[in-house]
Amino acid sequence: MSEPEKYTVGVARCESYDPQEVKGALALALERAGAPEAKGGSVLIKTNMLSPSEPDRAVTTHPEVLRALAGEMRKNGNAVHIADNPGYIFSDKGKLLRMTGVGALASDGVSVGLLSDLGFRSVGKDSFKTLREARISSRYLDAPFVINAAKLKTHVETEMSCCVKNIFGTADTATRKKCHASASQTALAEAITDLFVIRPPDFNVVDAVFSMEGDGPSYGKPRNTGWILAGANALAVDWAASAIMCYRDPLNIPLMAAAASRGIGPRDRSEIALVGAEWSDMPSWGFKKSTSLVWMLPVFLRGIAHGLVSLRPELARDGCVRCGVCGRVCPVDAITGEAGAYPVINRSLCVKCLCCHEMCPTGAMTVHRNFLAEFVVRFRKSG
Ligand code: SF4
Ligand code: SF4
């Protein structure tokens, strides 16, 4: 009996964003992954442009990786468009493109922009578990070939942000708020998976040259992890990426578990053919996961634990510029305050989604561990 076909993930070492090094490593990762030839004459590269942040903060996919990827796609004569929807409140397109370095990539045959530029369409699917319908970027839905160019980061709510999570950015603000309005980490994972299955990308590339560790996706620290990953199956690539973050069992990450249970990719590492390295080469030892503590518990306990051992937003007035962004992003309107005043959090409404922390432009909305969470951390350090 022949072996079942495996999900191939190609990986290549890349220590820096030196353009030549990135170009070589990306070409190697694509070759090892058996990247298909993009058809249709045009390619959409769905990048991660979460916020107007400089590339060295590791919040967004690095422009050198996007440049190299666009170059590979141009070899076949494809027109390339690089785009994303930033977090809800960043409406200044010029600033976003300038600060992320993506604006400078526009050249002959390569255009850049926002995924919202052609509007959104309502999509409903029988396979949805949490959402009834979602509004998704028309540009994304209609693209003949999509490459998902994710950044490897920690995430205070979903623990890891990589290929599957990156597709969250194809939805409009109202849909994303609906996903975040749930008090359960598992429900958020199911909602993101609902969005992913609408139109899975045709290919995936991960910028893990510098990844984000700590309290991502906005305020963690860059860490030189030194990899570029590529593969046709987003979940398989995420599996390899989770090894960089030292997860022993990636199915402990609710989003990975939700995606695997829907059959959109491997359910076990043995289903993946890792090309270019051994699994034991992948970990960046000592990698700091997010201080979201729920990941330490078995998946079946997480619904209960989310309310008990969880993090909550806490305002540090010193850094607050009273811009009102946190109030605008809160999916359940738990933040009030007069215009120009310090925000006030209504704890009885707050579902601890931490969107306010993620989107605060100054980092003044911090993450606070409760007593039980603190106890778990200390216990773990001494254990
Ligand atoms: S906490 Fe952050 S987002 Fe909220 S008002 Fe202050 S600076 Fe703005
Ligand atoms: S106050 Fe912050 S953490 Fe609480 S629900 Fe609103 S955005 Fe989420």
Q: Which amino acid is at 239?
A: W
Atom of ligand 2 nearest to the CA of 329: 7
- Expressed as residue numbers, the domain containing 260 is 7-281
Domain annotation covers residue 194: yes
What separation in Å is there between the alpha carbon of 103 and the centre of ligand 1? 27
Ligand 2 within 6 A of CB of 332? yes
- Kindly tell me if the per-residue pLDDT of 17 is higher than 90: yes
Q: Which of 111, 33, 114, 22 is nearest to 62 (CA)?
A: 22
Residue 286 included in any domain: no
Residue 220, both tokens: 């963690």
CATH number of the domain enclosing 113: 3.40.50.11440
Sign of CA dihedral 132, 135, 137, 138: positive
Q: Which helix (H) or strand (E) holds 71?
A: helix 63-74
Q: Hey, whose CA ends up nearest to atom 8 of ligand 2?
A: 353
Same domain? For 91 and 46 the reply is yes
What is the CA(189)–ligand 2 centre distance, in A?
Answer: 17
pLDDT for residue 88 is more than 90: no
- 199-218 pLDDT, tens digit per residue, is 999 999 999 999 999 988 99
Predicted confidence (pLDDT) at residue 380 exceeds the cutoff of 60: no
Other beta carbons within 10 Å of 102: 25
Strand partners, 111: 81
> Where residue 92 falls among pLDDT bands split at 50, 70, 90?
confident
Nearest to 226 by CA among 99, 63, 58, 380: 58
Query: How many other C-beta atoms lie within 10 A of the C-beta of residue 375?
Result: 13
Domain assignment present for residue 265? The answer is yes
Q: Which amino acid is at 343?
A: P
Backbone angles phi, psi at 78, to 5 degrees: -75, 145
Do 270 and 320 have their domain in common? Answer: no
Indicate which CATH number applies to the domain containing 336: 3.30.70.20
What integer pLDDT is reported at residue 2 of this predicted model? 63
Q: Could you tell me what percent of the chain has a pLDDT over 70?
A: 89
The number of folded domains in the chain is: 2
Segment 121-179, tens digit of pLDDT: 999 888 899 898 999 999 999 999 999 999 999 998 888 999 999 999 999 989 998 89
User: Ligand 2, atom 6: nearest CA belongs to which residue?
Assistant: 330
Residue 371 pLDDT level (bands cut at 50, 70, 90): low
DSSP string, 322-333: ---HHHHH-TT-
Residue-wise pLDDT for 278-294, tens only, equals 999 999 999 998 866 55
Record the pTM.
0.89
Q: Identify whether residues 241 and 356 lie together within a single domain.
A: no
User: For residue 332, which ligand has an atom nearest its CA?
Assistant: 2
Helix (H, G, I), strand (E, B) or coil at 265: coil
Q: What are the residues facing 223 on neighbouring strands?
A: 211
212 and 162 together in one domain = yes
CB-based contacts of 348, cutoff 8 Å, min separation 6: none
Tell me which of 281, 296, 322 is where a domain ends: 281
Two tokens at 28?
């190697």
Q: What letter represents residue 285's amino acid?
A: W
On whether both 89 and 27 belong to a single domain, the answer is yes
Same domain, 243 and 357: no
Counting from 1 in the atom list of ligand 1, the atom nearest the Cα of 365 is: 1
Same domain, 327 and 248: no
Q: How many helices (H) and strands (E) does the chain have?
A: 13, 15
Query: Which of 233, 265, 281 is a domain's end point?
Result: 281
